[in-house]
Structure 1
Amino acid sequence: MSDYDVLCIGNAIVDIIAQCDEDFLVDNGIIKGAMNLIDAERAQLLYSRMGPAIEASGGSAGNTAAGIASFGGRAAFFGKVSADKLGEIYAHDIHAQGVAFDTKPLAGDPPTARSMIFVTPDGERSMNTYLGACVELGPHDVEGDKATNAKVTYFEGYLWDPPLAKEAIRMTAKLAHAAGREVSMTLSDPFCVDRYRGEFLELMRSGTVDIVFANESEVTSLYETSSFEAALEAVRKDCKVAAITRSEKGSVIVRGEETVWIDAIEISELVDTTGAGDLYAAGFLHGYTSGRDLATCGKLGSLAAGLCIQQIGPRPRQNLRHEAEQAGLA
């Protein structure tokens, strides 16, 4: 019996979300649809130019942990905040979602991470992230009992930037595999893939990572091809399971020679794509750790992502377990 279904490792970030027009992105030199890493000075400047905003605890893997808990799964999270106001907000929110979060906060600087997210009228989000305390997550924060007692450990590619976090992920993966568990990652962002293509492929091909999540642009970037079909055939050979999201085209899951196509759910209005991939991973991993077939795992992912993009912010407002029951997927 495992204590947790999924242990998520990621950047503990408070999202500050505001709507804007396309000109705002151009005027402020913001790359649309990407996660842009910024320093403290740039963070202050963008914050001063933002319109009315919503503050919500975010971070890719943290969103996934919250989604798994909303489905009724048992989720844990490793992530570093500072002992400041935003750090208190983050810890409160993730605990309120039902996620086990016991990483010791950092005393003093740097402060808790924050991401200024600008949402354009087409629902696309452009993230500008100051990592702050996130970069201090390291091997000393690895809780061995959680690493060995979670069915799947899941980490975000974004966390491959800070060197200490890289060590923490490798240590956790080693503990997980020694205990007969599986390890999963999300590629996170095409720019992230460009920075670490060789290392990400090594993680997959060496067996350090068993399950990979990506969207279409990330997986084609990983294999440096414009052909989705070619990328799909390549990723099939490089990991045990891969789940690739394709926005309104749904998703496709591959495992060995097996291929499962999943439709996107019908939505009433596209509001904000922030967290869609995170919530897809939550639904998939909830199904996977519950012993469901790949088609059901994909449908649970599609359901969670579809609900997420019809609201502002990445954390589920509905009870996902109830939504799954209503959809006949419980």
Structure 2
Amino acid sequence: MKTMKTMKTYAMIFILTLSTILVQGQSHKEANSKTTYPTSYNTVKVDGLDIFYREAGPKKAPTLVLLHGYPTSSHMFRNLMKDLSSEYHLIAPDYPGYGRSSQPAMKDFDYTFENMSIIIEKFLGKLNVDTYSLYLMDYGAPIGYRIFERHPERVEAFIVQNGNAYKEGLTEFWNPLRTYWNDYTIANGKALEGFHSLEGLKWQYTHGVQDISKVSPDNWHIDLQHLSRPENNEIQLAMFYDYRTNVSSYPKWQKLFRKHQPPTLIVWGKNDIIFPAEGAYPYKRDLKNVEFHLLDTGHFALEEKGDEIANYISKFLRKNLK
């Protein structure tokens, strides 16, 4: 009898173990059943300029337009696009003078945030993209908010990652830029050139991160390759100077936030000195539907917290897009 009981016990353990393995196997299969889409690399003509862009995901899915910051390009979204391609149609352009897009001479092109927003709006028109959510990072915020200003009905949601729309976010780091805005001289511009040196680029990627080994050094070397083109230094200084027009537009954009109330996901690297967390909180004043996350990382939060951000975006858009 004792032997029979022992055998029954072993049989029950075997059955339970087998059931657990089958359930885990099914869960693993389901977790990996999503179809992932490769990223394609394309160029389209906009006002005679070659605008390079990355694209991934099914075109019938909701569109997320990824707007990069200074001093980088659509390269910053390379991993996020893979992570979200099973659910969303992702488009990430390079602005003129950045990444692989054309760099027209300054005498032929106005390097301003207003003009950049016009080019990107025309770019979306070329791709027949009529409605979209916007991922707004650094320079991508004022470019995206200008597009929103002209066509609020087209914007379904905001994902804001270290992108400012409030003066609270312009702390003492910005003092050299304020000096340049108030006194537009060669000397004051020269003081800002270190931001797009190799050391300055590396600092932007690594300051405030928890584990530098997670940040690929390819980032700053790829950026430097594009920033080292003839006249690009002057282009960056022109954009630095024009940033003052964004600050004066903040009240107008805040009013639009209050009026149109786009659902907004904040995913902000809280250790960023350039756009510190002080600039994240004020969005709550004007927007009612805000999901808010401060992440323990720096300026380029996707480098260290990309998986976490992708997960937040996926859940947020599923919940807020009809």
Establish whether TM, by shorter chain, passes 0.5. Answer: no
Q: Structure 1 or 2: larger strand share?
A: 1
Q: Which has the larger radius of gyration?
A: 2
Bin for the TM-score computed over the shorter chain? 0.3 to 0.5
Q: Structure 1 or 2: larger helix share?
A: 2
Q: TM-score, normalised to structure 2's length? A: 0.39
